Amino acid sequence: MTEYVMSRTNWCRVGGYAARSAALDAAPRRAERSEVMRVHGIRRWGPTMAALTLLAGAFQGFQASPAAAVDCFRDTCAGKDPIAMGCDNDAELLQQVTEPDESVAVRLIWSPLCQGVWLKISRDLDTSPDYVYGTLWTTRAPDGGIEEYDTTGLLGDGVAGAYTKMQNWKATTAKACWNDVDAQFDPAPLRYIKNNNDASLPLRHGSCTDWM
């Protein structure tokens, strides 16, 4: 059986969907789980609550600090700078792709608090190509159609790293790419699956993470 899998629309067939769903669901469950544990603890230790209340006064100086505030959430993060919005404070790596000679590395990053996704790129100034672009590709919300993109643009002389603005990861899927052609060039637009084997043509002029 031969199957052409377009990365623009059939991202869920080529991996990343399960990881994306699990990550998006995890953040609200963390807070929910903490609340359940707190309530259950009160019920379990109800008879000694008065004593615990007295002891608590001795440990006021050891209270955990509140979580860092962020300035956007989901769709309000689209097109915003992740550092300026505070979303980089809890950033997590979804996937990283590094060239065999380690000259260029591209990362797909997300924030559980903001639920925004963005790209980070780094390069070796001595061994990387003269032209390096980083591009965050996303499916069009809400129908998953033609790709949209955010880009670092061309990394200038002496620039070893850059990042893009965010997109709402709840409404789209995303992949992070680098190439040496142009900001709008996708080095991996098509996957060719034959008899359950990946028979795609070799990547040229760059590389990408999976769609997630």
Predicted confidence (pLDDT) per residue in 22-56, tens digit: 666 666 544 333 332 232 332 233 433 434 343 34
51 lies in some domain: no
Q: DSSP letters of 100-142?
A: TTSSEEEEEEE-TTT-EEEEEEEE-TTTS-S--EEEEEEEETT
| pTM greater than the 0.75 cutoff | no
Residue 172 lies in a domain: yes
Residue 122 lies in a domain: yes
Would 19 be classed as within a structural domain? yes
Domain span at 141? 2-26+70-208
pLDDT recorded at residue 50 = 39
Q: Is the residue at 50 inside a domain?
A: no
- Checking if the pLDDT of 183 tops 90, the result is yes
Residue 38 lies in a domain: no
Say whether pLDDT at 59 is over 50.
no
Residue whose C-alpha is closest to residue 151's, from 139, 137, 134, 174: 134
How many structural domains is the chain composed of?
1
Task: Of 133, 24, 163, 150, give the one whose Cα is nearest residue 79.
Answer: 150
**Residue 125 domain flag:** yes
